[in-house]
Amino acid sequence: MKLLHCIVIAIFVAITSCTIEKTDYEAELNVETTEFITFEEVTSITTDNYTISIEALNGTLYKGYNEIHLKITNTATNENLEDAHVTFLPIFTDANGNKASCPHDYHLDYDETEGYYLGYSVFTSESDSTVNWTLYVDFEDNSELYAVNHPITVKEQTNLNLNMTAFTGHDDEQYFIALVAPQSPSVAQNDLVAGIYKYNKPANPAGTFPDLSQYSYSIVEGHTLLIDPRMPEPSMGNHSSPNNEDLTQETDGLYHGVVNYTMTGNWTLNFILKNESGDIIKGTEVSTEFTPGIDGEKGELHIDILF
Amino acid sequence: MKRITLALLLLVSIVKAQNKEIKPDSLDTVLDEVLIIAAKKAKIETDMKMAVSVDEFLASNANISFIKRGAYAWEPLLNNMSTERSTVTIDGMHIFGACTDKMDPVTAYVESNNLSDIDIKSGQEGSLHGATVAGSIDLKRKSTAFGLSKTWSGAYQSGIEFNNNQLFNLGNVAYSCDKLVAEGSVSYRKAENYSDGNNDDVNHSQFEKFNTSLGFAYKTSELSSLRVDAIFDKAKDVGYPALPMDLSLSRALITSVSYKQFFENSFVKVWDTKVYFNAVEHYMDDTTRPENLVHMDMPGWSTTYGLVSKVNVKKEQFSSEIQLNAYHNLSIAEMRMYPQDRSERTMFAYSWPWVTTRYAGLSLSNSWDISKRSQLNFGGSLGINYNYSKYAEFNWIFHPGAPQEKTRFLPNLYTSYLVNVDGFNFSVGGGYGHRAPSVSEGYGYYIYNSFDRYDYIGNPDLKNEISYEANASAGFKNKKGGLQAKVNYFYIQNYIIGRILSQGSPMNYQSVGVKGYTALDYATLFNFSMDAHYAVMDNLHWKGTLTYARGLDENKNNLPFIRPLSYQTSLHYSYKKLGVLTALNGDLKQHNYSPFYGEDETPSYTNWNLSIDYSFHIKNYKTVFQIGAENLFNEYYSTYADWGNIPRMGRNIFTSLKINL
Ligand SMILES: [Cu+2]
């Protein structure tokens, strides 16, 4: 019987050894993406008796969509300021000194349960040696106005699932589409969330800086974002997925839809933006042909993702 | 892994013995019978060839046809139905292949020298081993009896098939004493590409297979025994000319421990319980196909453990077998596609997203000898089938909201009545049964089918397939010869088959579209076979078989892989120690092909085969030498069930030598 033990063990070792390891699927999904869920302080600004703390996911501002949490503390009383009529304005200066802004929430509302002012900012470029960003924050306490500005750093977004695009629509307006979720998609139905914004063209030339009329952006309301995901890899032959749902606006102001990714890898989200009356603002339909060996289709309006 | 090792160690020390119907009443005769049955000579050979592969042996059964993707591991079709519809077991143990492309039917994991017999049951009569529609194929392992007069026995067989330079060596040895039996077998086959009837090489048709088995039995008391069995099978570098990929490695470990208890003076005759474990791994390889646009890795794993416990009961004219069957299977298949620019991210998905199948069923098979001339057989089973898809999000892409787990009840029933009068025999029977969708049908994800060139998607919401079956047979037999005709008819509700989906786009570059497994309202299948044999002289025997089948879907379109009218006829002549056999077999033109499911018309073909064997003794060891040729006219042909119309083997001269030790 001892011999048998040995033989059975030997066979067992033979079959379990040196085989291909099974893929760790959960780890596979996080090769290219990291999901951040906690808000950490990006920077804090001190003025008079007040400390303004700005928080974002992972304590970093990235190119693209950023949810912003802002807290103002009175350092003398150690109290949080509520209903302080906080305004928030990111300003970008290029090498020639030209100033511009980006889609942002100007009037920040106070969230009592969470204890912070909630806003967002869609940074359209990264900070570098020639480009810098400054934050202008105004608030009010005891009927007194305070205004501060502070340099910030906008970092490159390495997670392509939070990618963004800026374009001029057929109506000659300037639009921005920024992906908000999912941060880390999976081979599944993914709830796709995007913010769609537009630049409100000023009627008059710029006044004294900062002239708010020059930096006004708003959420695009009631439009539809049609989606057609494709794989760009040539050998995938313009592969797509079924059961995707176009993005429509929900009460949070963001656009929600469904995208199905049938496998991991590079994907192109082809979009068509339509207004309330169904007119195309931007985007072209892409071919649905299966074309092995040829790059996947990319329409005039698209965002590339990778997971 | 540790747990499995422990389980295996626990297994060490036991048996399963041969378990055929036990008729005699007294215990002594019961035991004798068992001994006799177990001692029965292993006969996995055909009239034509004594050194056959398991596939070739199965092919000699009129109910079996094959889908062939190359020279190795043919997929057996029972009653013209694919493997999803039949249960294939090894001594009642369930085992499932690990290949999404069906490169590894269960029959590929055994070898002819560790089998004693293959038990094929048509239709619902096969439900004893679990829910089925087509029937069951049970591969019976060799099992040496206790206390044989010859303590040591064995056989060695070697041969060459010249067409593909296949060299094989098969050996087995057994030791038997009053208390202990030990037996083992080893086999090794290696073949190169075969050539077709035009003498052209069929590329990627090589294979290499190693198989070994061990069995130990210990008599724990006068009336009980314990047996441990293990089979290890390894196939390497196997080409599948009809598929876009080959196999680099496939391994299976099949183990069991069984305990058998006989009873004296009781209507319960024997109780046999077995626990088993088997693990299959399967690694496909496309690096041998540089023409492929995409390099893919497609590994698959299938692990099963289970229990079979059965009791044989006999009282007067009534005998029955009660069987409890339970198993748990986990099937995993991955695909990883490499982009042309290898620095880019690979693309990954599961083609079987960790699918668990659990089955538990109780089945009953009864036989009642109403009179000397008539017999009634009836039985059935009731099973619970449970499926769970760990990564159900893959299934939700095509079937949003489909349940992650699903439980099904699978009833099966059958009955048949047999009459035997003066050499004439008649039988009529009927059956009703459910089967659950297979892992691929329920949960498969972008499984590329190179036959119709579609990617297949499973549907977790598929209903049970329900079969209504009627069968009849009539025959006549006397000293000179006999004639037997059999028909069966299946009306299958919710018949599962792939239908083109309007959504989704292909994932595999060779594919032309996406098909989803869908249930037709119904499909019907009709099978007919006729066997005849006649002794022209004492030493000259003739045999003939004719089969015909027809399968239609709900719109009266042909079903795929239905065998056209086929025939087999042979003449065997023996003179002293010499035997000569000549055989003709072929299919007529396939008129009822199914363009809708990717088939084209297959022309008729005929093969002429010839073999000569000579028996002699080397030092008292009985030896048989055989030489023969298949497809003697070197006809170029492919059959209706050759995947992608790959041509079959041209003229093949074979020779083998068998020594019984
Ligand atoms: Cu395979």
Helix boundaries (H) for B476-571: none
Examine residue A6 and state whether it is found in any structural domain, yes or no: no
Nearest to A265 among B347, B393, B394 (CB): B347
Q: Which residues on A lie below 8 Å from B345 (Cβ)?
A: 31-32, 264-266, 306
Helix pair angle (B2-11, A2-16), 10° resolution? 150
Chain CA centroid to CA A164, Å: 7
**Are B347 and A264 inside 8 Å of each other by CB?**
yes
Q: How many domains does chain A have?
A: 2
Residue B138 one-letter amino acid: D
On whether both A207 and A73 belong to a single domain, the answer is no
* Residue A8 binned pLDDT confidence (cut-offs 50, 70, 90): low
Examine residue A241 and state whether it is found in any structural domain, yes or no: yes
pLDDT exceeds cutoff 80 at B97: yes
Nearest to A292 among B249, B501, B509 (CB): B509
The whole-number pLDDT of residue A4 equals 56
How many angstroms does the Cα of residue B95 sit away from the middle of ligand 1? 16
**For B223-268, how does the pLDDT look when each residue is reduced to its tens digit (9 = 90+)?**
999 999 999 999 999 999 999 999 999 999 999 999 999 998 889 9
pLDDT exceeds cutoff 60 at B595: yes
Summary mean pLDDT of chain A = 91
A154-155 and A164-168 strand pairing: unpaired
Contact residues, A window 53-112, toward B, CB-based 8 Å cutoff: none
**For A61-98, how does the pLDDT look when each residue is reduced to its tens digit (9 = 90+)?**
999 999 999 999 998 888 888 888 999 999 999 988 88
**Are A290 and B512 inside 8 Å of each other by CB?**
yes
On whether both A172 and A95 belong to a single domain, the answer is no
pLDDT exceeds cutoff 80 at A283: yes
For chain A, say whether B346 makes contact (Cβ under 8 Å).
yes
User: B225: helix, coil or strand?
Assistant: strand
For chain B, say whether A295 makes contact (Cβ under 8 Å).
no
* Residue A17 binned pLDDT confidence (cut-offs 50, 70, 90): low
Identify which has the larger pLDDT, A7 or A174.
Answer: A174
Q: Which residues on B lie below 8 Å from A260 (Cβ)?
A: 397
Q: Can you spell out the DSSP letters for B30-95?
A: HHHHHHHHHHSPP----SS-SS--HHHHHHTSTTEEEEBSSSS--EEEETTB-GGGEEEEETTEE-
The answer to whether the beta carbons of residues B416 and B377 sit under 8 Å apart is yes
**Are B397 and A8 inside 8 Å of each other by CB?**
no
On whether both A136 and A195 belong to a single domain, the answer is no
**Are A263 and B345 inside 8 Å of each other by CB?**
no
Provide ipTM, 2 decimals.
Answer: 0.89
For chain A, say whether B283 makes contact (Cβ under 8 Å).
yes
Chain B interface test: which of A2, A8, A289 (most B C-beta within 10 Å): A8
Q: Which residues on B lie below 8 Å from A6 (Cβ)?
A: none
The whole-number pLDDT of residue B658 equals 93
CA dist., res. B156 & res. B659, Å (int): 5
* Residue B277 binned pLDDT confidence (cut-offs 50, 70, 90): very high
The whole-number pLDDT of residue A6 equals 63
For A21, name the nearest residue in chain B, comparing CA atoms only.
B299
- For range B549-575, the mean pLDDT: 93
The whole-number pLDDT of residue B410 equals 97
Name the residue among B48, B115, B51 with its Cα closest to residue B88: B115
CB–CB contacts below 8 A, A to B: 151
- For range B29-34, the mean pLDDT: 42
| Geometric angle at alpha carbon A225, from A222 and A229, rounded to 5° | 165
How many angstroms does the Cα of residue B284 sit away from the middle of ligand 1? 5
pLDDT exceeds cutoff 70 at B22: no
Name the residue among A115, A113, A116, A90 with its Cα closest to residue A101: A90
Q: Which residues on B lie below 8 Å from A186 (Cβ)?
A: 393
Chain CA centroid to CA B64, Å: 9
Chain A interface test: which of B250, B338, B347 (most A C-beta within 10 Å): B347
- For range B89-111, the mean pLDDT: 94
Q: Which residues on A lie below 8 Å from B2 (Cβ)?
A: none
The answer to whether the beta carbons of residues B442 and B519 sit under 8 Å apart is no
Q: How many CB atoms neighbour CB A200 within 10 A? A: 14
Please report the sign of the dihedral spanned by the C-alpha atoms of residue B639, residue B645, residue B649, residue B651. positive
For chain B, say whether A3 makes contact (Cβ under 8 Å).
no
How many angstroms does the Cα of residue B298 sit away from the middle of ligand 1? 7
The whole-number pLDDT of residue A16 equals 56
On whether both A125 and A169 belong to a single domain, the answer is no
On whether both A182 and A297 belong to a single domain, the answer is yes
Examine residue A72 and state whether it is found in any structural domain, yes or no: yes
On whether both A195 and A300 belong to a single domain, the answer is yes
**For B59-70, how does the pLDDT look when each residue is reduced to its tens digit (9 = 90+)?**
888 888 899 999
On whether both A227 and A296 belong to a single domain, the answer is yes
Examine residue A246 and state whether it is found in any structural domain, yes or no: yes
For A259, name the nearest residue in chain B, comparing CA atoms only.
B397
For chain A, say whether B500 makes contact (Cβ under 8 Å).
no
Of A102, A125, A155, the position where a domain reaches its end is: A155
Nearest to B334 among A4, A15, A23 (CB): A23
User: B568: helix, coil or strand?
Assistant: strand
The whole-number pLDDT of residue B63 equals 85
Name the region of B399 (left: φ>0; alpha: ψ -120 to 50; beta: rest): beta
On whether both A74 and A176 belong to a single domain, the answer is no
**For B284-307, how does the pLDDT look when each residue is reduced to its tens digit (9 = 90+)?**
999 999 888 889 999 999 999 999
Q: Which residues on B lie below 8 Å from A240 (Cβ)?
A: 504-505
For chain B, say whether A266 makes contact (Cβ under 8 Å).
yes
Residue B59 one-letter amino acid: A
pLDDT exceeds cutoff 80 at A38: yes
* Residue A11 binned pLDDT confidence (cut-offs 50, 70, 90): low
For chain A, say whether B7 makes contact (Cβ under 8 Å).
no
**Are A187 and B397 inside 8 Å of each other by CB?**
yes
Chain A interface test: which of B10, B216, B348 (most A C-beta within 10 Å): B348
Domains of chain B: 2-660 (2.40.170.20)
On whether both A295 and A167 belong to a single domain, the answer is yes
Nearest to B253 among A15, A242, A290 (CB): A15
Chain CA centroid to CA B421, Å: 34
The whole-number pLDDT of residue B255 equals 96
- What percentage of chain B has pLDDT greater than the value 90? 79
**Are A236 and B507 inside 8 Å of each other by CB?**
yes
Examine residue A23 and state whether it is found in any structural domain, yes or no: no
On whether both A176 and A285 belong to a single domain, the answer is yes
Please report the sign of the dihedral spanned by the C-alpha atoms of residue B45, residue B47, residue B52, residue B55. negative
Name the residue among B76, B79, B85 with its Cα closest to residue B107: B76
Examine residue A2 and state whether it is found in any structural domain, yes or no: no
pLDDT exceeds cutoff 90 at B37: no
**For A212-232, how does the pLDDT look when each residue is reduced to its tens digit (9 = 90+)?**
889 999 999 999 999 999 999
On whether both A117 and A91 belong to a single domain, the answer is yes
CA dist., res. B620 & res. A82, Å (int): 106
pLDDT exceeds cutoff 70 at B24: no
CA dist., res. A149 & res. A135, Å (int): 5
- What percentage of chain A has pLDDT greater than the value 90? 76
- For range B520-536, the mean pLDDT: 95
**Tokens in use for A275?**
């207004």
Name the residue among A172, A191, A204 with its Cα closest to residue A259: A191
Domain of residue A192: give its range.
159-306
Contact residues, A window 244-263, toward B, CB-based 8 Å cutoff: 260, 262-263
Examine residue A22 and state whether it is found in any structural domain, yes or no: no
Name the residue among B176, B193, B173 with its Cα closest to residue B184: B173
Domain with residue A83: its CATH number is 2.60.40
- For range B553-577, the mean pLDDT: 93
pLDDT exceeds cutoff 50 at B584: yes
The whole-number pLDDT of residue B40 equals 42
Range name among A10-19, A292-301, B335-344, B531-540 with the lowest pLDDT average: A10-19
Of A155, A170, A192, the position where a domain reaches its end is: A155
B454-457 and B513-537 strand pairing: parallel
| Cα distances (angstroms) measured from residue A86 to each of A92, A109, A140, B635 | 20, 8, 7, 89
| Cα distances (angstroms) measured from residue B202 to each of B55, B152, B241, B426, B551 | 19, 43, 7, 46, 31
Summary mean pLDDT of chain B = 90
pLDDT exceeds cutoff 50 at B11: no
Of A104, A133, A155, the position where a domain reaches its end is: A155
Contact residues, B window 528-587, toward A, CB-based 8 Å cutoff: none
The answer to whether the beta carbons of residues A71 and A50 sit under 8 Å apart is no
User: B402: helix, coil or strand?
Assistant: coil
Nearest to A233 among B281, B344, B394 (CB): B344
The whole-number pLDDT of residue A32 equals 87
**Tokens in use for B281?**
């791994």
Q: How many CB atoms neighbour CB B389 within 10 A? A: 26
Q: Can you spell out the DSSP letters for chain A?
A: -HHHHHHHHHHHHHHHSS-PPPP-HHHHHTSS------EEEEEEEEETTEEEEEEEETT-EESEEEEEEEEEEETTTTEE--S---EEEEEEE-TT--EE--SB-SBPEEETTTTEEEEEEEE-S---SS-EEEEEEEEEETTEEEEEEEEE-EE----GGG-EEEEE-TTS-EEEEEEEE-SS--SSEEEEEEEEEEE---SS---SSS-GGGG-EEEPPS-EEEEEEE---GGGTS-B-SS-EEEEE-TTSSEEEEEE-SSSSEEEEEEEEE-TT--EEE---------TTSPPP--SSEEEEE-
The whole-number pLDDT of residue B21 equals 34
pLDDT exceeds cutoff 70 at B35: no
Q: How many CB atoms neighbour CB B608 within 10 A? A: 16
Examine residue A16 and state whether it is found in any structural domain, yes or no: no
**Are B398 and A243 inside 8 Å of each other by CB?**
yes
| Cα distances (angstroms) measured from residue B126 to each of B256, B321, B378, B469 | 22, 13, 12, 12
* Residue A12 binned pLDDT confidence (cut-offs 50, 70, 90): low
A164-168 and B166-176 strand pairing: unpaired
For chain B, say whether A37 makes contact (Cβ under 8 Å).
no
- For range B533-549, the mean pLDDT: 94
| Per-residue DSSP letter, B494 | E
Residue A224 one-letter amino acid: T
On whether both A133 and A190 belong to a single domain, the answer is no
Q: Is the peptide bond before A232 cis (omega within 30 degrees of 0)?
A: no
- For range B531-554, the mean pLDDT: 94
